[in-house]
Structure 1
Amino acid sequence: MRSYYEFRIKEKYASMLFADDEGERLGTSVRKIVLRGDDPRLPEVNRLDRELKQGQNKPRYFYAGWSIQYKYTHREIEAAEAFKLKVTSVFEPAGEERGTEYDESRACPACGTGAPQVTPLRLPAGRIPKTKDFSRTIADEVVVSQRVKDAFEECGVSGANFATVVSTSRSKGFVEGRYQFEATEAAAEVAPPTVSGNKPSDLDTEGEYRCARCDLLGLNLLSELSVARASVLDLDVQATRAYVGLRSGLLRPRQVVLVSPKVYRLAKEMKLKGVAFEIAYLV
């Protein structure tokens, strides 16, 4: 496996570590820099970000945005026992903005995590991406296409639930050919060496976005996912018991979805759009 870190470095600080012709300029104030996980400058990126932030009334940051990608060999893919499912297509509005209800009385009283959805997902049909097989709202409500539902059912994929989506467009009724996708079970236990935190330079050692009263791991996963083998069920689709994210406004922490090699192969054969996969490790 090779990891790649993409940073959006503030141009006024870029010269502190990078050559003038390095990376890609995005306008006049931001530069995109991609580093391999074994690049010796990666720790320096994080050090500079921490140092710029410290002791300032108005926080400064070396980088404003980041992402991590993992590249696998064919052998690693073939040997994988599970995969983390990532929905890459995002749209608005969130279901709550259109009348989807959650039972907040059952959420964690400390951080607001875990309120269950108690009514069908309500969305304007025209806002759901038509060219994507998987997409999600900003509240991580996942919507899939008819072809996903048909293929999963035809191939006997276990552990997935497909619920109708209520249309809030003029036509009302249900959104034709679109379904809310959820795992029926959430028991997988996240295990070391999984790392969570705010961003690569901030592991949230003070627990700003972790919760001691529930299963909220933090704001983001900063590594590949490992789960306890004994907690993994014999299902093709399942979720972790723990959550990642932040309860703020329309945003809700999400459980991580795991899928079997069967689902991974099916998605690749069908060339499903709007979804990506990372290897998840059973330990």
Structure 2
Amino acid sequence: MVRMPGTVQNASPFLEAEDIWVEFNGKPAVKGISMRVDRGEVVAIIGPSGSGKSTFLRCINHLQAPTSGTVKIDGISVREGKGGHPKSKELTQLRRRVGMVFQQFNLFPNLTAVENIMLAQVQALGRTKKDARGRALALLDRVGLEHRANHYPGECSGGQQQRIAIARALALDPMVLLFDEPTSALDPELGAEVLGVMKEMASEGMTMIVVTHEMSFAEDVADRVAFIADGAIVEQGNPKEVLRKPQHSRTQRFLKAVLER
């Protein structure tokens, strides 16, 4: 994958999750996962359903508060556990650095595409409606949908709605984007539209963590693949090595099942 200048990996990680644990009703769903991500790096997370992938992803921006563990992004550190809970100011600073794109598009059905992208800019960033609209239109153009600016979500295909959701996430100028199975609700053709936008962002140096079932995307676009099963990282490394020559029997079993579907 060709990177833009300035995305060379550094000794100090841009994003770091340390010893993340999540328990539901006393049962661990995420078991001490740690992950370091450099600026401009794309990490693909794969694994079976119910393995803790999405739960871990949501811990990074504290949509899911970890039972314990620390998340650091660009100098901002948020810790959960015996030391208490993070302050609201710390959470706000962390979340300002992170954008998220979900499986379901989560667009407001009563707002047009451009209004969906404007809303958070006005409310969270304090931009004027004029500035927010200009930014929204520029981002719709970037994802190939400026011509759908005044259409409502219900008038757009699933692929178009997801691209609008990506534009909305970008509108807040995040330092890192999280994707939670962004194409799982789409048929292959519409999913390809979304993956094309994601590939372009990766080539431009956007830091991305992507939970995905798209193995070709993981191999072609990601700098690293992490396989999660039973709440823990079982294996991670170079995409071609992990996907074509997995070392762990659990990874081998998962990929065999995926390829034989």
Q: Which has the higher helix share?
A: 2
TM category, shorter: under 0.3
> TM-score scaled to structure 2, two decimals?
0.24
Q: Which structure's CA Rg is the greater one? A: 1
Q: Which has the higher strand share?
A: 1
